[in-house]
Amino acid sequence: METFKFFNWVKEYGWRHFVALIFVTFAIYPILFVVTNSVADFANLTNSKLIPEGFTLKHFKLLSSDPLVPYFKWLYNTYKVALIAAIFNVFLGTLAAYAFSRLQFKGRRASLLTLVIVQMFPSFLAFVAIYLLFFQISDIAPFMGLGTHFGLILVYLGGSIGFNSWLIKGFMDTISPSLDEAAKVDGATEYQIFRRIIAPLSRPILVVIFVITFIGIYSDFILAAIFLKDKNLWTVAVGINTVFIDDFNADWGVIAASSVIAATPIAVLFIFFQKQITGGLTAGSVKG
Amino acid sequence: MIYLSMTLSKISRYVLLAIFNALIVYTIPLALTFESWFFLSLTLVIGILVNVVYFTDRFQPMKWILPGMIFMISFVVFPAIYNTFVSFTNWSTGHILTKAQAISVLEDRVFTPDDQKGLEFEMYILQDQDLKFYYVANLDSDNILFGRAVSDDEIFSTSYATHEPSLFINGEFSIPDGFYQLSGKEQIANSTTLQELSLVIDQNTRAQLYKISVFGASTGRLTSTSQLYTYDELNDVLINNATNSICPVIKDNFECDGNEIEPGWRVYVGGENYRKLFSSQRIRGPLNIVTKWTFQFALLSVIFSFAVGLLLSVILNKDGLKFQRIYRSVFILPYAIPAFVSALVWKGLLNPDYGVINSWLGPLYEILDVEPVKWLKTKESARSAVLLVNTWLGFPYMFLITTGALQSIPKELIEAAKVDGATGLQSFWRITFPLLMVSISPLLIGSFAFNFNNFTLIFLLSGGGPPIVGSEVSVGWTDILISFTYKLAISGGRGNLFGLASSVTIIIFALVLIISAISFRYTKRLERIYGNI
């Protein structure tokens, strides 16, 4: 009777656990490997033991003290660029979304369609043209030319604003128009309706869009790589690539530590907003 | 009060507009000097739009849309148009400048006629903390000249040498503070660099190192220089003053006695870049390989990660299964980590010599008696590795969306099938799967489009390698179109082939357009199906 019960369990549940565990290993092994190596005394690539012998923070200390690898400078640059770009992106996207959602005008549908079509092409596709454009801007206005954070932020601003306004507009459409009509009767201006009613009610989607945009810019490699030449201005994505030099004779512990620092905040943010992010992306993809 | 706030907002609006217009006005002459016609037109269009929209009240909705629109037009739409323009030019290393700029660079070149090598004198060579070289030329006691020694490229941007009689006290040379004097041996060690440098005394006169002396001061020599090239605007030729030869324009360069003179300039070349892509065998071959692999990579990435994601979501979609939440949170992890980190970590794990993957597989290699796989170093292993890692990166997303879709399928449908005698597998393939595909397939197409241009993964994991031997341009077996473009334009080691790269970008644009068109048609069809259920 007992064995029958066990077989029944295996048939119903056991094999599911078995398969799931295989993929748990697949999913988590590289992550655990990096995390443990970042605190292991003798970190190396070959060591397949996941439980390190001897706990140490020396790799993190080394990372902050090597003048040739200004890692925390890169981290600061990344947060700076991603924060500024994401804030303005959401702000400008919200303004446009309001007009698309609440104002009636000629060409509204056409412009919305244009937005969708333009956003089919990721902005980095034309990176050659962006590079040459900013190469020339460097002559005219060096403060926003090639190699500057300002220029890079401008490019990021253009990159996802269409898609973002589209998503925000979709959310604003679900806010009952009776609210702003009532406000209009009371003599509120367009700006007041936006500021006092629509924008506050849209906050949930704005937070999600902000997080998605922030993560997107944080993780961007190609534009930052063509834009930033000065080591001190690099973002983490560009800089970390030089820490991972090809033959891996470099200290693997430091490499692991740099990965952990770069990945953890984003992973936490992502898991926290996981439902909204996949939901938002889904909605966007279905519509787009 | 209301009136006051109205005027305030009006005033601030005008102040902002004034600042904006000042910027535009400041930019226009600069754009004119640098002949950036595209940039100029962009500035003018934006300037006019902003003024029309914000000075009049006729375009209310535009006041909301314009700020975002400006960025989208400037940095998404405009680059796409500009890219098309660049693809019809020869824009590349050696042909970066406009013709006028190239001529002005060439007219700055100088040479020293043989009969102009003259006066010899004592010379001292110094170095500052930045390791820049400085010369002291002791022409005679009244003329002691000091200044930075510069290469030919810097001659026109440097200031003339200054008179510094204080460097000699009672006829003895004293080293100024903050400088280091090179000994004769050190001068010999640096002689190749030093021979290229000169101290600029006036427009036509320079002092150069002539003889290095191991003991005591070295000898310098004065030289007169003259302009090497003169441009004859009337005949559109360059005259070489050293050889007196006439250099005509050959397409995008001047040519002197059969030699191309660098730099050339950029010109419109029509469809030449496209002709090169499609007819030059040593470019067409690699382009074919890359295009084919781009499709294979994107398609297989979607299939593998979807298969894994679907399998896991079906397995976990079981009432009463324990640890579901733990499994789910673990499966999300690979998706939560920035791809640039994952790609680099996997590159480490896959390292053929030190990597943990090969040390894991070590026993297997021994049993099978085969050589360890040289991950990322051969065509097949690199392609498998790229797909493996992309499956790892992609399956969590597929798991999440299929789980969501599975849960939204009404249970009654499955129950009904069971009642009709369908087995578990039958009801899955006949009912669950088709219903799943209705909501999932647009996302799969989206994922395909994303991977079609997944530059970060390819570039950071395999770098596009291993290289395809025999290609005229730098390209590898795992390069996808976008990373191929990157190599052409930025990092291929064959200079910057911006024109050619832009023409590849146009191909990518066309393919993305086709994919999107299919996706639009397909999703509409699915919506109709869904509507009929």
What is the per-residue pLDDT across A110-120, written as a single tens digit (0 to 9) for each? 888 888 788 88
Q: Give which of B427, B329, B316 is closest to A13, Cα–Cα.
A: B316
Q: Which residues in chain B touch residue A271, judged by CB atoms under 8 angstroms apart?
A: 329, 332, 336
Which residue intervals of B34-164 are DSSP H helices? 37-55, 60-72, 78-86, 99-107
* Nearest chain B residue to A283, by CA: B443
Which of the four pLDDT bands, split at 50, 70 and 90, describes residue A200?
very high
C-alpha distance from residue A161 to each of A48, A89, A101, A270 (Å): 44, 6, 16, 21
Please write the tens of the pLDDT for every residue from B342-357.
998 998 888 888 788 8
Q: Of B460, B465, B490, nearest to B475 (Cα)?
A: B465
Residues B36, A140: C-beta atoms closer than 8 Å: yes
- Based on its alpha-carbon atoms, the radius of gyration of chain A, rounded to whole angstroms, reads 25
How many other C-beta atoms are found inside a 10 Å radius of the C-beta of residue B368? 9
Question: Is pLDDT at B35 greater than 50 in this prediction?
Answer: yes
Q: What pLDDT digit, counting tens, does each position of A16-58 carry? A: 899 999 999 899 999 998 898 888 876 666 665 666 667 888 8
A282 contacts on B by Cβ (under 8 Å): 401, 404, 443
Secondary structure of B238-288 in the HEC alphabet? EEECCCCEEEEEECCEEEECCEEECCCCCCECCCHHHHHHHHCHHHHHHHH
pLDDT digits (tens, 9 = 90+) for B428-462: 888 889 888 888 888 888 899 999 999 999 999 99
Weakest-pLDDT range from A142-146, B206-210, B401-405: B206-210
Q: Which of A101-115, B197-211, B287-301 has the highest mean pLDDT?
A: B287-301
Q: Which residue(s) pair with B218 in the sheet?
A: B123
Q: How far is CA A53 from the centre of its chain?
A: 35
Query: Residue B270's Cα: distance from chain center in Å?
Result: 24
pLDDT for the residue numbered A48: 55
Burial of A97 (C-beta count, 10 Å sphere; 0-12/13-18/19+) = buried
**Stretch B93-112: mean pLDDT, rounded?**
86
* Residue B509: closest CA among A223, A125, A155: A125
pLDDT of A51 reads 67
Give the whole-angstrom CA distance, residue A260 versus residue B302.
28
Higher pLDDT, A92 or A48: A92
Predicted local distance difference test score (pLDDT) of residue B149:
87
Counted across chains A and B, CB pairs separated by less than 8 A come out at 271
Residues B88-113, mean pLDDT to the nearest whole number: 86
Least confident of B96-105, B150-159, B309-318: B150-159
Tell me, what's the pLDDT at A287?
25
Indicate the range of A39-43, A191-195, B369-373, B499-503 predicted with least confidence.
Answer: A39-43
pLDDT for residue A156: 93
Residue B321 confidence (pLDDT): 82
Q: How many CA atoms lie within 13 A of A250 on its CB side?
A: 20
Confidence of residue A151 (pLDDT cuts 50, 70, 90): very high
**Is A143 in CB contact (< 8 Å) with chain B?**
no
Quick check: B251 pLDDT over 70? yes
Task: For residue B144, list its beta bridge partners.
Answer: B138
The more confidently predicted of residues B127 and B480 is B480
For B6, name the nearest residue in chain A, comparing CA atoms only.
A189
Check pLDDT > 60 for residue B21. yes
Residue of B92, B329, B341, B457 best to disrupt the A interface, most CBs of A under 10 A: B341
Question: pLDDT band at residue A282, thresholds of 50, 70 and 90?
Answer: very low
Q: Is the pLDDT of residue A284 over 50?
A: no
Q: Assess whether pLDDT exceeds 50 at residue B155.
A: yes
Instruction: Please compute the mean of the pLDDT values over residues B80-94 and round it to a whole number.
Output: 92
Nearest CB to A46; choose among B34, B359, B396:
B359
Average pLDDT over residues B377-405: 93
| β B168-169/B259-261 pair status | unpaired
Residue A179 contacts residue A172 (beta carbons within 8 Å): no
Sequence-ordered list of residues with C-beta below 8 angstroms from that of A35, at least 6 positions apart, any chain: A256, A260
The arithmetic mean of pLDDT across residues A194-207, rounded, is 91
Tokens of A108: 């509204």
Distance from CA of B339 to the nearest CA of A (A): 7
- Under 8 Å CB-to-CB from B373, ≥6 apart: which residues? B352, B358, B361, B381
Please state the rounded mean pLDDT for residues B256-269.
88
Joined tokens for residue B134: 């400085």
CB contact under 8 A, A271 and B332: yes
- Identify the CA nearest to B315 among candidates A274, A5, A12: A12
pLDDT for B84 equals: 94
